[in-house]
Chain A
Amino acid sequence: MNPESQMLHSGESPGLAYFGKMTATMSHELKNCLAIMNENAGLIQDLLVMNRSGQPLEPERLDRITGGISRQIQRADNLLKQMNTFAHSVDLPEQQVNLKEAVHLAASIGARLAANKRVEIRPSVSDSENASDRPVSMKLAFFPLLNLIWQTLEAVMTAMEPGTILDITVTRNLESGQGPACIRFFSSDDFKIAVEPILFSWGVPDLASRVSARVAHTPEINRVDLIFGETATKES
């Protein structure tokens, strides 16, 4: 279901459509964790039944199976942490947000949907002007920001050939860490179709205006920028 048709089923609220889509994909991932733990627990039961019938039980085998269960618990825990952060993104009208963390969160919670498009995402959040651990913080509405990042990401992926790579960087032009900030989506591979009509039909410029940002598209180099804080920005 594309964002347009999804909106029709969610009272024409793009935010609600995004919230539903992400919740569905995260619950799908959690189901997979549970399914793997279910099979591993069942395998232990099977091995115990066979052991009662005289078949030796190898401790190393049990180690591997329980290790698998632990990995899935960790995976599910990470998913739930992301889900919790996502759910709380609607708590405040505005809050201090690190754009790098927002990109990471938006890309992580939509990772399975991205995998379905067979585009590899490389959220390389550092660049020559920003140390990788330096936050790029702004006071913004967090949930609309996540929605904007995801819709842009999905629009760009839709325009890309399967098997290609999409890089995402977060930059702020001035070394002082002030001034406009930019989330950049770009690929060294040519897009298969024009991305601009997708961005417009999915309402990305409108979403950008809700967080005082704008969309800049440079088709010659397969690049889409989200530019924040050009005007009345509340700096960190």
Chain B
Amino acid sequence: MQILLVDDEKELVSTLAERLGFRGIQADWTTVPNEAVDLVSRNRYEIAVLDVKMPGMNGFELKQLLEKKAPDLKFIFMTGHGSEACYKKGCSETGREYYLVKPVEINQLIERLNEILSDDTCRGGKNYES
């Protein structure tokens, strides 16, 4: 599984990427939304995990840009906010189960990643241990 993590908190996103790596999930990361667009243009990711609130561009706006570059890309949102409006917007973009509130347990994240790829699993894909 190859995923992209985007969050403006560098220590959070780099540590999460390393821990996912220990579990066999290749996770690239960036703290800059525009850099994410560039990464998606150059690499093939299955899922992008996006922070909702980032300076300059929020996660919902970034999703739209990434979808133009990679129409098959799937999304999970991570947020520290949890406001009603943000929650509704996040759920409408990805579905309630893919809107995670920080701090996120890595096993819960991996479960969500596996669920998103479950269609692929039916076609012979691989599930990752959480």
A contacts, CB < 8 Å to B: 1, 24, 27-32, 34-40, 42-43, 46, 50, 68, 72, 112, 115-116, 118, 162
A-B contact count (CB 8 A): 68
Residues of B near A37 (CB, < 8 A) are 103
Asked if A35 and B102 make an inter-chain contact with CB atoms under 8 angstroms apart, the answer reads yes
Asked if B56 and A118 make an inter-chain contact with CB atoms under 8 angstroms apart, the answer reads yes
Say yes or no for B81: interface residue by CB 8 A criterion. Answer: yes
Q: How far is the CA of A31 from the CA of B83 in the complex (A)?
A: 13
Q: By the criterion of a CB under 8 Å from any partner CB, how many residues of chain B are at the interface?
A: 24
Q: Which B residue's beta carbon lies closest to that of A72?
A: B11
**In angstroms, how far is the closest chain B Cβ from the Cβ of A68?**
6
Asked if A46 and B104 make an inter-chain contact with CB atoms under 8 angstroms apart, the answer reads no
Asked if B15 and A40 make an inter-chain contact with CB atoms under 8 angstroms apart, the answer reads yes
Q: How far is the CA of A72 from the CA of B9 in the complex (A)?
A: 11
Q: Which B residue's beta carbon lies closest to that of A30?
A: B80
Residues of A near B15 (CB, < 8 A) are 36, 39-40, 42-43, 68
Asked if A32 and B106 make an inter-chain contact with CB atoms under 8 angstroms apart, the answer reads no
Given the known interface contacts A68-B11, A112-B53, A116-B56, the answer about A35 and B19 at a Cβ–Cβ threshold of 8 Å is no
Going nearest first, the 7 A-B pairs with the smallest beta carbon separation are A31-B80, A38-B103, A35-B102, A39-B15, A115-B55, A35-B103, A28-B80
